[in-house]
């Protein structure tokens, strides 16, 4: 009888440890998976709204005066060289800053899925 109780206790402890390991090993529901397509969307990160454009696979940001894109190492002025801004986007009176113009680049980070 004593051996049966010890054996059952060991089985229950082992099941609890295995169940905990399974729960911890599961990805959190709601986070983007590496193979998941994010589609075009806006996201507020680091106190700024940035736009993810799936066709270009990069983030865009505007300070209200200029448009920028994220290189992963920082922001660069956007010169409408990719898909974003080509269709369904009204530029109005926006003029792309010339290379010699002094433009203050944003310093905030962009959201990256883990």
Render pLDDT for 51-82 as a digit per residue (tens, 0 to 9).
998 888 899 988 878 888 998 888 888 887 77
Alpha helices per DSSP H over the chain? 2-25
**pLDDT mean over 34-63:** 83
Cβ atoms of residues 52 and 41 within 8 Å: yes
Q: How confident is the model at residue 29 (pLDDT cuts 50, 70, 90)?
A: very low
Name the one residue in this structure whose structure tokens are 């956007």.
78
How many C-beta atoms surround the C-beta of residue 66 within 10 A?
19
Calculate the dihedral angle through the C-alpha atoms of 94, 95, 97, 100, rounding to the nearest 10 degrees. Answer: -150
Distances (CA, A) of 4 to 1, 14, 15, 86: 5, 15, 16, 73
91 confidence band (pLDDT: 50, 70, 90):
low
């Amino acid at each position: 009888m004593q051996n049966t109780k010890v054996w059952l206790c060991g089985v229950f402890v082992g099941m609890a440890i295995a169940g905990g390991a399974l729960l911890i090993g599961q990805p959190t529901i709601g986070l983007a998976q590496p193979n998941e397509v994010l589609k075009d969307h806006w996201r507020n990160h680091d106190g700024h709204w940035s736009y993810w454009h799936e066709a270009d696979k990069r983030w865009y940001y505007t300070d209200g005066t200029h448009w920028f894109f994220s290189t992963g190492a920082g922001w660069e002025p956007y010169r409408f060289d990719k898909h974003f801004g080509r269709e369904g986007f009204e530029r109005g009176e926006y003029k792309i800053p010339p290379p010699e113009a002094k433009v203050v680049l944003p310093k905030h980070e962009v959201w990256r899925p883990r």
